[in-house]
Amino acid sequence: MSAPLELTGLTKVFPTPSGPFIAVKDVNAEIAAGEFVAILGHSGCGKSTVLSILAGLDRATLGGVVIDGREVTEPGPERAIVFQSPCLLPWLSARQNVQVAASQGSARRSRRESSAAAAHFLELVGVSEVADQLPPELSLGTQQCVSLARALSVEPRFLLLDEPFSMLDSLTRFELQDTLLRVWEESDRTVVMVTHDVDEALYLADRLILMTDGPEATVGDVLHVPFPRPRTRAGVLGHARYHACRRHVIDFLEHHAHQSRPSALDSVLHSAV
């Protein structure tokens, strides 16, 4: 039985005036049901490209994403995404923003059911008191909470997060990480999160996929995060292996991220592009 979410030989080539640019090359990964995976790498290494292809917003040039044995070719309600910026519709209240998504989700919902779902998910992420405010009236952190509620309201099997907290100050970031962790630990969702924050990845994820620098970015290393669940920040930071794990990731980013490995795909690629 294969994993429910697979990246197989995922490669993305962008055409440029100076010839083809291989952004991401031969990314392979299997993600288990209910797993929390973080994709970590320097900015510009192609992390977001991988996530866009996962979301079905972009197509791979070679290889691709397989969910339950079917290739992903377009966005679908079993996958919801939270971007770096909240991307809420500014003329709709927080509640209405979530409601729009809830009505288009995996479960067919009536207007009343969507409204109830919106209330539920806003409550879940702890922002129900601002439900009737417009996004511009809310702080960035609160907007991002609404954005998370919107993604959850689709009832996705896969929650895709593209640096969701990187625009926030460190205290707000802590708060939203705690919210996400709590929501995820109480559900059976699979999460794929792109981040460049080592501590965030270690706090939240089961497994880190470390990407080498682009061009031709690929999976450089995989780290299994050993901290027991349910996790607390103090528990993770105080864990005996915390330093070793953090050190491992930082060493990778500082010394190994730029060493791309030769791949069996090389010959195929060069004939393809």
Partner 1 sequence: MAFLQAQGISKSFASSGTPRRVLGSVSLEVEQGEFVSIVGAMGSGKSTLLSLLAGLTTPDTGTITIDGEPIAGVRRDAAFVFQNYSLLPWFTALENVRLAVDAAYPEVSRSEQLAIARHALEQVGLGNALHRRPGQLSGGMRQRVAIARAFATRPRVLFLDEPFGALDALTRDTLQQELGRLCTEGDRPVTTVMITNNVEEAILLSDRIVPMIPGPPATLGAPIPVELPRPRTLALLAHDEQATHVRAHAVSTLAAAISRPKRSSGPPSTSTSTVLSAAAEEVR
Residues of the shown chain interacting with partner 1 in the complex, contacts defined by CB under 8 A: 126-127, 129-130, 133, 137-139, 141-142, 145, 169-172, 174-175, 178, 199, 233-234, 237-238, 242-243, 246-247, 250
Task: Identify which of residues 10 and 130 has a Cβ nearer to partner 1 in the complex.
Answer: 130
Nearer to partner 1 (CB atom), residue 77 or residue 126: 126
Question: What's the min distance (Å) between Cβ of 35 and partner 1?
Answer: 25
Nearer to partner 1, 243 or 261 (CB): 243
How far apart, in Å, are the Cα atoms of 156 and each of 6, 160, 163? 17, 9, 18
To partner 1, the closest distance from the beta carbon of 170 in angstroms equals: 4
202 vs 219, which CB is nearer to partner 1? 202
Q: Quick one: 169 or 185, whose CB is closer to partner 1?
A: 169
How do strand 5-16 and strand 36-40 relate by DSSP bridges? Answer: unpaired
Shortest distance in whole angstroms from residue 151 CB to partner 1: 18
DSSP output for 101-137: HHTTSSS---HHHHHHHHHHHHHHTT-GGGTTS-GGG
Q: Are 97 and 88 in contact (CB under 8 A)?
A: yes
Nearer to partner 1, 68 or 129 (CB): 129
Shortest gap between Cβ of 74 and partner 1 (angstroms)?
35
Nearest-approach distance from CB 129 to partner 1, in angstroms:
5
**Angle between the N-to-C axes of helices 170-185 and 140-153, in degrees from 0 to 180, rounded to the nearest 10:** 20
d(CA 176, CA 62): 36
Distances (CA, A) of 113 to 43, 49, 128: 40, 35, 17
Between 58 and 175, whose beta carbon lies closer to partner 1? Answer: 175
Cα separation of 121 and 219, whole Å?
A: 34
Q: Are 252 and 220 in contact (CB under 8 A)?
A: yes
The C-alpha atoms of residue 112 and residue 130 are separated, in whole angstroms, by: 20
Residue 16 and residue 66 in contact, taking contact as beta carbons nearer than 8 Å:
no
Q: How far apart are CB 86 and partner 1 at their closest, in Å?
A: 13
Edge-first strand order for the sheet with 70-71 is 19-31, 5-16, 62-67, 70-71
At its nearest, how many Å lie between partner 1 and the CB of residue 199? 8
